[in-house]
């Protein structure tokens, strides 16, 4: 049996506040685009996985696997629904990856989807907060902005990270999203605007945070030995790793390091027989700007405490040594929580195929995505290559 799993096609529905579309519309759109891109007959798809965090609370709808298969007209194939908070999309990809490698399935459709804007802001924040330790964090009012603010303030205390550093991921990612037709915010934001936006949870401001977003993304994945039946431009998953950490932030040895990210990244690189210097483009989970700074350190781009300096020096810009979040990231592309992990891989596939237009990284051959759940309690890392 072939050792690798291939990605034959990708698709996305544009991210944003999509008042005229519901969850099934978004899932169907992303899935159909992925199937058309792959050139795969629907009859060849023998399984489906959908990643979603909390459709039951956001929309009142559960049983999403059956819903997606029904709407897509895919017959009676097995359909699985996966939840891992904001890492639900990455978990869906990993489940399909393992199912194909095991020989259980040959061709699978993978979706990530979330419809978040049909509830008010308070309800949305409460729903997202259940991805933290609700009994010891959320119940006491520690929202995700507050938890990431703790991380940011400690990082500033320990390493001298500044408010200017916190603004730089937003500036960079908005500049990248200008050229992403699927992004929620296709406009640049000056650093002064970021630094003067309203306080969310000191020191984090509104423009340090990803938005409430509706959206879906899809992949068609299959065995390596059959992918050439469908496409001349396949991309391959070279490794898939997942690790966990404490759910509550206060139980960790350090709140400025996501140990699950450190371990899953090291294991993914080892499994792919690669070093970080071999990676050409990265998608790192930036639900808050401090998240990108910490992940830049935890994957090994720079040593601990130097994430802000890496942004200052342009290391993570398109054209830099390690381009990060060429899509615009969660901040500017948007963060429909269940769809994010799949959207990260869609971006990397476009980069590796040379289809990323004005945000293209020259000669990109290897990509790495880190999709995290909560404050890093779940970390899922995928490495893909041409």
Structural tokens at position 175: 């500049």
Same domain for 153 and 143? yes
Residue 197: domain span? 131-211+238-385
163 and 105 part of one domain: no
Reported as a single tens digit per residue, the pLDDT across 220-270 is 999 999 999 999 999 999 999 999 999 999 999 999 999 999 999 999 999
Distance CA 216, CA 291 (A): 22
The residue from 155, 208, 335, 382 that is catalytic is 335
What pTM was computed for the model?
A: 0.97
Question: Is residue 335 among the annotated active site residues?
Answer: yes
Has residue 126 been placed in a domain? no
Residues 310 and 341 occupy one common structural domain = yes
Alpha helices in the chain (DSSP H): 23-38, 55-58, 64-72, 88-102, 121-129, 144-159, 163-177, 191-195, 259-271, 289-298, 307-312, 329-332, 340-353
Q: Are residues 79 and 178 located together in one domain of the fold?
A: no
pLDDT tens, position by position, 152-173: 999 999 999 999 999 999 999 9
**Active site annotation includes 86:** yes
Together in a domain, 91 and 160: no
Report yes or no on 265 lying in a domain.
yes
Residue tagged active-site, from 86, 174, 222, 285 = 86
For residue 189, the domain's CATH number is 3.40.47.10
Answer yes or no: is 124 within a domain. no
Q: Are 106 and 229 found together in one domain?
A: yes
Tell me, yes or no, whether 137 and 101 share the same domain: no
User: Beta strands 79-82 and 47-51: pairing type?
Assistant: parallel
- Whether residues 156 and 300 share a domain: the answer is yes
The domain tally of the chain equals: 2
| Residue-wise pLDDT tens digits, 169-224 | 999 999 999 999 999 999 999 999 999 999 999 999 999 999 999 999 999 999 99
Statement: residue 102 has pLDDT above 70:
yes
């Amino acid at each position: 049996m072939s050792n690798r799993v291939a990605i034959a096609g990708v698709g996305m529905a544009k991210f944003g506040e999509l008042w005229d579309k519901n969850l099934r519309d978004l899932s169907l759109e992303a899935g159909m685009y992925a199937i058309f891109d792959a050139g795969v007959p629907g009859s060849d798809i023998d399984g489906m996985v959908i990643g979603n965090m909390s459709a039951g609370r956001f929309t009142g709808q559960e049983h999403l696997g059956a819903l997606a298969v029904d709407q897509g007209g895919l017959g009676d194939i097995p359909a699985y629904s996966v939840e891992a908070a904001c890492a639900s999309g990455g978990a869906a990809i990993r489940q399909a990856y393992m199912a194909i490698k095991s020989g259980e399935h040959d061709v699978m459709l993978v979706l990530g989807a979330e419809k978040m804007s049909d509830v008010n802001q308070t309800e949305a924040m409460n729903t997202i907060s259940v991805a933290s330790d609700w009994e010891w964090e959320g119940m006491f009012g520690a929202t995700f902005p507050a938890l990431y603010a703790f991380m940011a303030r400690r990082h500033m205390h320990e390493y001298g990270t500044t408010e200017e550093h916190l603004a730089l991921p937003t500036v960079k990612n908005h500049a990248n999203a200008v050229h992403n037709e699927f992004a929620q915010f296709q406009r640049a934001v000056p650093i002064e605007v970021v630094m003067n936006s309203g306080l969310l949870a000191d020191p984090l401001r509104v423009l340090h945070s990803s938005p409430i977003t509706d959206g879906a993304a899809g992949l068609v994945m299959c065995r390596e030995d059959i992918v050439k039946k469908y496409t001349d431009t396949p991309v391959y998953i070279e490794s898939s790793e997942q690790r966990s950490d404490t759910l509550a932030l206060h139980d960790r040895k350090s709140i400025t390091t996501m140990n699950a990210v450190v371990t899953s990244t090291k294991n993914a690189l080892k499994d792919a027989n690669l070093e970080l210097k071999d990676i050409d483009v990265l998608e790192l989970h930036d639900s808050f700007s401090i998240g990108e700074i910490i992940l830049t350190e935890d994957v090994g781009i720079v040593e601990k405490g130097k994430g802000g300096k890496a942004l200052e020096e342009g290391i993570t810009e398109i054209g830099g040594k390690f381009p990060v979040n060429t899509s615009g990231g969660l901040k500017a592309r948007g963060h429909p929580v269940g769809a994010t992990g799949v959207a990260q891989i869609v971006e990397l596939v476009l980069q590796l195929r040379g289809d990323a237009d004005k945000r293209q990284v020259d000669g990109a051959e290897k990509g790495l995505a880190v999709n995290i759940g909560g404050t890093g309690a779940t970390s899922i890392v995928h490495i893909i290559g041409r």
